[in-house]
Amino acid sequence: GRGRGRGRGQMTFNVEAVGIGKGDALPPPTLQPSPLFPALERRAAPLPGGEEGEYMLALKQELRRAMRGLPYFIKPGAPRRDIERYSDKYQLSSPVDSAIDWNPDWRRLPRELKIRVRRQRKGRTAPLIPKQHVALDKEETIKKLESLEKKEEEVTSEEEEEKEEEEEGKEEEEEEYDEEEHEEETDYVLSYFDNGESFGPDSDDNGDEAVY
The CA distances from residue 84 to 96, 106, 120, 147, in Å, are 17, 37, 19, 23
Ranges within 5-34 binding another protein (CB under 8 A): 11-14, 17-20
Phi, psi dihedrals of residue 194, rounded to the nearest 5°: -65, 120
Interface residue with another protein, options 4, 8, 75, 80 (CB under 8 A)? 75
Please say which residue, 63 or 129, places its beta carbon nearer to another protein: 63
For 92, other C-beta atoms within 10 Å of its C-beta total 15
Angle, helices 138-151 vs 157-167, to 10°: value is 130
Please say which residue, 41 or 82, places its beta carbon nearer to another protein: 41
Interface residue with another protein, options 25, 26, 31, 70 (CB under 8 A)? 70
**Residue 191: CB minimum distance to another protein, A:** 11
DSSP summary character for residue 80 = P
Ranges within 36-65 binding another protein (CB under 8 A): 41-42, 44-45, 47-48, 52-53, 55-57, 59-61, 63-64
Q: Does 3 bind another protein (CB under 8 A)?
A: no
**Residue 63: CB minimum distance to another protein, A:** 6
- CA dist 146 and 118 (Å) reads 9
Q: Which residues of 135-170 are buried (b: 16+ CB within 10 A; e: fewer)?
A: eeeeeebbbbbbbbbbbbeebeeeebeebbeeeeee
Q: Does 197 bind another protein (CB under 8 A)?
A: no
Q: Does 84 bind another protein (CB under 8 A)?
A: no
**Residue 86: CB minimum distance to another protein, A:** 26
